[in-house]
Structure 1
Amino acid sequence: MTVSETVDESELSVESELLAGLESVVTTAGPVTDRFDVEAPFTGAVIGQLPACGPEDVEEAFDRADFAQEAWADRSVEERAAVFKRYHDLVLDHAEELLDVVQVESGKARRHAYEEVLDVAITTRHYAYRAEEYLESEPRDAAIPGLSETTVHHHPVGVVGIISPWNYPLSLAISDAVPALLAGNSVVIKPAEQTSYTALKAIELLREAGLPRDAFQVVTGFGEPLGEPLVANADYVCFTGSSATGRIVASQAGEHLTDCSLELGGKNPGIVCEDADVERAVDGLIRGCFTNAGQLCISLERLYVHEDVYGRFVEAFVDEIEDLHLGTEYSHDVDVGSLISEQQLEKVTEHVEEAKAEGATVLTGGTGRPDLGPYFYEPTVLTDVDESMALCAEETFGPVVSIYEYSDDDDVIERANDSDYGLNASIWTEDLERGKRMAKRIETGTVNVNEAYAAAWVALDAPMGGMKDSGIGRRHGEHGFMKYTEPQTVAVQKKLGMTAPPGVPYWLYAKIMNKTLKLQRRIPGMR
């Protein structure tokens, strides 16, 4: 791990004033000895330094979270929900400040940062008004009615460990924590080192809303020293990131018999049918491909366009892309912002250059824009991409999309499914019933018809997650809440026991039971 020398306050950029005081949210076991730089992607300048926490800090965070969890869980669900109802309003009241911090750390366009504010507010409201219903004890049917009474209770799992990524630093630090906390758990989070200030600001507001300080702990730093102790100490692990790292997290969780949910990578397909509204598809797919400069796990990197509309779509798509405004402004007028880092720029560049060398054609883009900022890359469209190329098979995670021509539905569904990933897909057709039929055949956790990703993402009452190498488990909906609970079945036996009554020979008991079970099968409500 490389840790820079301490930066003098006078050397920090003006933007660092936004971040003043947020370090106090970080949990440390003692005096901070190591720090790491946080960089502004728009300029490459260092805007601050945060503690490079170690395993001892993780232990301290879990000790505090464990101590706080019981008292937090003892509060009524109504009391816990009141905290999050206040938080909903605080997030909206402080939206501009949150947007500034997100942009400073991530380099994304402001309109894309605003999606994160919306997500946190909507998710918070959704769960705050449903937590009581989810956690209510449920009567369940007994095997033989009248002989016993069965109830299922839902208890918090304990302390939830969250490892959140840099691409959506507000949304993915908070929206997974909200249901965990409402269920009565405490949380320890390790946010991505590139965007930790965003998580700290969001948690500061949550404490202002009334969440006990120790119920939500933060350790900042790098994955290698912090990931393993976080998984080892957690009662449940929630990870969002690459498939390669997800395998490591899953392996470590398995060693400790700790349940986990993982949302991982995607190489998501979009399909434009011959009856699609081409203008609408172009508009929607530009958002689907280039939101957050393509650094979105559910963005679309492969577009399959029917031969009947292929030429018209490609021409309109490229024309619209060439009109996109790239920039570093803190306004909603910018269409595409920066990549996060030099490492991400190198990966995007490598994918495009390799494809070009192997015969792909660049229709627009295909180059970096250092005149705008160190990590900018132009929105890029390629054709003539062989499906064996890395650009087609591997997640690029940048503003790059390849377009392929197809002729019939069976062919395009087979090609769309020909991937190790299965996170999101998009289908464009004016025949909604056809779109629904096609969607059921796509091997992804979410499919949007006549939308790129937003319709499924904001459907918070429905589960969201991946198939195949795109992950395990789900966020959103009842699935995204109940995963943070332990169901407990309590069965109360009444008069007779679950065996032959005294004085009744077992052969007679078995004969009576056979007749009883056959009778039950024939009576509705007793099956």
Structure 2
Amino acid sequence: MRQQYDLWIGGEWRQAKRYEPLTSPYSGETLTQIAQASPAEAELAIETAHEAFAAYGLMPAFRRSQILYRVADIIDRRREELAALAALEAAKPLKAARAEIARTIETYRFAAEAAKSITGEQVAMDAAEGGQGRMGFTLRTPIGVVTAITPFNFPFNLVAHKVGPALAAGNAIVLKPAEQTPLSALALADMFSEAGLPSGVLNIVTGAGAELGEILTAHPLVKKVSFTGSHTVGEIIQRQAGLRRTTLELGSNAALIVDKGTDIEPIIDRCVAGAFGYNGQVCISLQRILVHASLYSRFTELFAAAASRLVVGSPLEENTDITSLISAKAANRIADWVDEAVAAGASIVTGGRRSTEQGNSIYEPTVLRDVPRFAKVWTEEVFGPVAVLASFENLDEAIREVNASRYGLMAGVYTPDLNSAFKAARQLEAGGVVINDIPTFRVDQMPYGGVKDSGKGTEGVAYAVQEMTQLKLIAFNLG
């Protein structure tokens, strides 16, 4: 690891005027010094991307595809090194970091395939009176400069979900990673350079979102903003972006319905993984679990027992399941929310404490029941290792409970009844409904986007490419 990381602009490292230390969330040790871009430096990156787009937007699809395939191969070759990097800067347990790297490789390969599959369609001009003697078809063209603002929790793969489609479509991009996880993004600079990406097409600026946000979302040369993060920041970005295209993935409060007749023992470990994977710091982490009354007591017992067996420790240890949250601030907020729920009548089935393993940034896997519906752990996105259990008498009641949330990214339903499965699939208000699995399920080629306060737009590589291209009509008068 270098002692200092600069900005990546125009295919070269550029020193910034200011640097800040990057510390490990787990140990508190200083890892390196990170450039803090100014608005002027971010503007330079945008202008550089705009200049590079003029040529890159004309690059043949097969060449764009080759570059993305090469990047995937480079990541594959360096997967252990990159997994360790995510474990250091994001406190992501090593086994979770390895899984993320594997998905990242696949995401760039999907992007490589998508680059060769960007097509238009024929338009039946003569279907309208006055359209005879004319031929029409559509093209999809790159839109220009895309800015991407990414979160800390999947520092490689969520970056790939923005960078991969942008480059596949022929756009140039300016990437601003989360303040806590710049190293994962900066690692892409040398990898894309090695893969043959022309200089200036990918630019990486690190620094504070509050300082750089407006220039990245409102600059005249920016044509599209792709953001993953909080609802509060997403609303600010939308206001700043105006009429520009935006994709906003703004979080969730993912719920699972376990319907009557479900064989619960085989699904417990899966539910625990969905609730507590990467400390619950996942946009579609399983937070609310609604279990039919006939199964509720047994499910609660098995789920809490499995949660209590999770291993708490260093992210660099092979068997660690739970480790430090991204910050002490996050741990404090989660503790406050749990305390609020308990004070209002909720019961702690297991957990509910900061671990003594590593100060107050580790919060034990926590299972709550009897939670009032006004408590934040029920209404808001916890983004931590907390799961809330509740019982229901019939499926209609459970669907109403799930839909009462202001969020709607993913939902899950376990049921042995086909009619119940289709009913839930139709009626649940979410961008995706997973039948007989947890809402945390995601593969990287599927469409992914929420409704209500979970945001707007769709990710999933091919779908993101559509949103990063402009549909253009070509019409011929044949005489």
TM-score (norm 2): 0.95
Residues 468-512 of structure 1, C-alpha deviation per residue, up to 9 Å, x if partnerless?
Answer: 0000000015321111111110111222xxxxxxxxxxxxxxxxx
On the 8 A contact 1:25/1:204 being kept in 2, the answer is no
Report the CA distance shift for 1:440/1:64 in structure 2 as closer, same or farther (over 3 A): same
Distance, in Å, in 1 between the alignment partners of 2:81 and 2:395 is: 47
Distance, in Å, in 2 between the alignment partners of 1:139 and 1:205 is: 39
Matched residue of 1:463: which SS?
coil
Match of residue 86, structure 1, among 28, 47, 70: 70
Structure-1 residue corresponding to 2:468: 484
Distance, in Å, in 2 between the alignment partners of 1:266 and 1:159 is: 28
Q: Is residue 2:265 matched to residue 1:282? A: no
Matches within 5 A, 1:105-254: 105-134=89-118, 136-144=119-127, 146-233=132-219, 234-254=222-242
Structure-2 residue corresponding to 1:326: 312
Matched residue of 2:32: which SS?
strand
Matched residue of 2:382: which SS?
coil
Report the CA distance shift for 1:432/1:83 in structure 2 as closer, same or farther (over 3 A): farther
Q: What is the Cα deviation at residue 119 of structure 1?
A: 2.2
Matched residue of 1:491: which SS?
strand
On the 8 A contact 1:364/1:381 being kept in 2, the answer is yes
Residues 189-242 of structure 1, C-alpha deviation per residue, up to 9 Å, x if partnerless?
Answer: 111111111111133322222212311101111011100001122110000000
Matched residue of 2:181: which SS?
helix
On the 8 A contact 2:106/2:444 being kept in 1, the answer is no
On the 8 A contact 2:15/2:35 being kept in 1, the answer is no
> Which runs of 5 or more residues in structure 2 are unaligned?
none
Match of residue 255, structure 2, among 253, 258, 269: 269
Report the CA distance shift for 1:29/1:459 in structure 2 as closer, same or farther (over 3 A): closer
Q: Is residue 2:36 matched to residue 1:48? A: no
Report the CA distance shift for 1:198/1:46 in structure 2 as closer, same or farther (over 3 A): same
On the 8 A contact 2:114/2:461 being kept in 1, the answer is no
Q: What is the Cα deviation at residue 30 of structure 1?
A: 7.0
Report the CA distance shift for 1:479/1:140 in structure 2 as closer, same or farther (over 3 A): same
On the 8 A contact 2:92/2:315 being kept in 1, the answer is no
Structure-1 residue corresponding to 2:55: 71
Matched residue of 1:121: which SS?
helix
Q: What is the Cα deviation at residue 360 of structure 1?
A: 0.9
On the 8 A contact 1:427/1:449 being kept in 2, the answer is yes
On the 8 A contact 2:410/2:440 being kept in 1, the answer is no
Amino acid across the alignment from 1:143: D
Q: Give % identity.
A: 33
Q: Is residue 2:394 matched to residue 1:425? A: no
Match of residue 297, structure 1, among 274, 283, 290: 283
Distance, in Å, in 2 between the alignment partners of 1:376 and 1:244 is: 25
Structure-2 residue corresponding to 1:23: 6
Matched residue of 2:17: which SS?
coil
Structure-1 residue corresponding to 2:361: 375
Distance, in Å, in 2 between the alignment partners of 1:201 and 1:478 is: 24
Q: What is the Cα deviation at residue 177 of structure 1?
A: 1.1
On the 8 A contact 1:26/1:200 being kept in 2, the answer is no
Amino acid across the alignment from 1:478: A
Distance, in Å, in 2 between the alignment partners of 1:63 and 1:486 is: 21
> Which runs of 5 or more residues in structure 1 are unaligned?
1-16, 496-527
On the 8 A contact 1:305/1:405 being kept in 2, the answer is yes
Report the CA distance shift for 1:349/1:454 in structure 2 as closer, same or farther (over 3 A): closer
Matched residue of 2:331: which SS?
helix
Distance, in Å, in 1 between the alignment partners of 2:4 and 2:27 is: 23
Distance, in Å, in 2 between the alignment partners of 1:477 and 1:98 is: 22
Report the CA distance shift for 1:125/1:432 in structure 2 as closer, same or farther (over 3 A): farther
Amino acid across the alignment from 1:360: A
On the 8 A contact 2:7/2:16 being kept in 1, the answer is no
Match of residue 302, structure 2, among 316, 334, 341: 316
On the 8 A contact 2:323/2:362 being kept in 1, the answer is yes
Matches within 5 A, 1:388-403: 388-403=374-389
85-94 vs 97-106, greater mean Cα deviation = 85-94
On the 8 A contact 1:272/1:304 being kept in 2, the answer is yes
Structure-2 residue corresponding to 1:11: none
Structure-2 residue corresponding to 1:503: none
Q: What is the Cα deviation at residue 146 of structure 1?
A: 4.5
Distance, in Å, in 1 between the alignment partners of 2:199 and 2:178 is: 21
On the 8 A contact 1:281/1:450 being kept in 2, the answer is no
Structure-2 residue corresponding to 1:100: 84
Match of residue 46, structure 2, among 24, 39, 62: 62
Of structures 1 and 2, the larger Rg is shown by 1
On the 8 A contact 1:432/1:449 being kept in 2, the answer is no
Amino acid across the alignment from 1:124: Y
Q: What is the Cα deviation at residue 370 of structure 1?
A: 3.5
Distance, in Å, in 1 between the alignment partners of 2:447 and 2:124 is: 26
Distance, in Å, in 1 between the alignment partners of 2:31 and 2:176 is: 20
CA RMSD of aligned residues (A): 1.8
233-242 vs 422-431, greater mean Cα deviation = 422-431
Report the CA distance shift for 1:74/1:412 in structure 2 as closer, same or farther (over 3 A): same
Amino acid across the alignment from 1:189: L
Distance, in Å, in 1 between the alignment partners of 2:436 and 2:444 is: 15
Structure-2 residue corresponding to 1:384: 370
Report the CA distance shift for 1:140/1:477 in structure 2 as closer, same or farther (over 3 A): farther
Report the CA distance shift for 1:35/1:79 in structure 2 as closer, same or farther (over 3 A): same
Distance, in Å, in 2 between the alignment partners of 1:54 and 1:322 is: 45
Q: Is residue 2:459 matched to residue 1:471? A: no
Residues 405-439 of structure 1, C-alpha deviation per residue, up to 9 Å, x if partnerless?
Answer: 10100000000100111011111123355323312
Q: Is residue 2:36 matched to residue 1:36? A: no
On the 8 A contact 2:107/2:461 being kept in 1, the answer is no
Aligned residue pairs: how many? 473
On the 8 A contact 1:106/1:166 being kept in 2, the answer is yes
Q: What is the Cα deviation at residue 31 of structure 1?
A: 4.8
